Structure 1
Amino acid sequence: MTTWITICDTCKREDFEARAPAMTDGEALAHAVEALPRPEGVALRRVSCLMGCSHGCNVAIQSAGKLCYTLGRFEPGAEAARAILDYAALHAGSATGQVPYRQWPEGVKGHFVTRHPPLPE
């Protein structure tokens, strides 16, 4: 079963206006994640707005029949991208989507915003 990383490409961090970058922070994070090799069982997609604006940059880690998570407050770049992909690989390898805290990549700790139970069958 595939674990999906859904990246909000419209996210803007609090200081976005002052920095005036060429692309949104969400686009920058998406580019960073897309530039790395994907682990087996992990797929990527972009969406415009996950409605977590106060937590930008946001991603969702989802898979049918498993716990799903929203993570946010990432600084867009290679370090966050690697941590997101590493966590998604652990999620993909879990029967329930739950990954023990001791296995979490350091780069996702403190970034969890919500957890959603799987939809009923």
Structure 2
Amino acid sequence: MTDLTPTWITICDSCKRTDWAERGSERSDGEAFADLIEAQAKDTGLRTRRVSCTMGCERACNVIVQGAGKIGYSLGRFDGTVDDATALVDFAQGHAGSPTGQVPFREWPQGVKGHFVSRHMPLPEAAE
């Protein structure tokens, strides 16, 4: 991965899982998940950012893994655990190491399988 085209993990910090109110949480599940992802991504070369709402509310704990000129991925339906954050960061490191952003299925951490929502093709070059 180069500093010119880093892999970014965009984390929805306003996500709330369906049982959020019953649990009496003061913080959103997304905010708590963002804390865990940021801690796992520290010193990896990955970049993180928080946004309020990626419009995937029914899936809660949504993230987007993307990098300039690479395929990007939206993932959701996480419980927001340390294991989830670790798997996500491991996947993002595979994305960072891939020239296209595509990570072979056999290299996906178990913790991201079943969490993919969509894949986004890179934007075409201006000259295309």
Query: Structure 2 length normalisation: TM-score?
Result: 0.90
Alignment gaps of 5+ in structure 1? none
- State the secondary structure of the residue aligned to 1:79: helix
Alignment gaps of 5+ in structure 2? none
Match of 1:108 among 107, 112, 124: 112
**In structure 1, what is the equivalent of residue 38 of structure 2?**
34
In our comparison, the structure showing a higher alpha carbon Rg is 2
**In structure 1, what is the equivalent of residue 82 of structure 2?**
78
Query: Which amino acid counterpart does residue 112 of structure 2 have in structure 1?
Result: V
Deviations 1:98-121 (A, max 9, x none): 101000001100000010100111
- State the secondary structure of the residue aligned to 1:36: helix
Query: Which amino acid counterpart does residue 73 of structure 1 have in structure 2?
Result: R
Query: Structure 1 length normalisation: TM-score?
Result: 0.95
Match of 2:121 among 111, 117, 120: 117
Residues 1:2 and 2:27 aligned together = no
Aligned CA-pair RMSD: 1.1
- Say if 2:73 and 2:117, in contact at 8 Å, map to a contact too: yes
Percent identity reads 57
1:112/1:39 Cα in 2 relative to 1: closer, same or farther (>3 Å)? farther
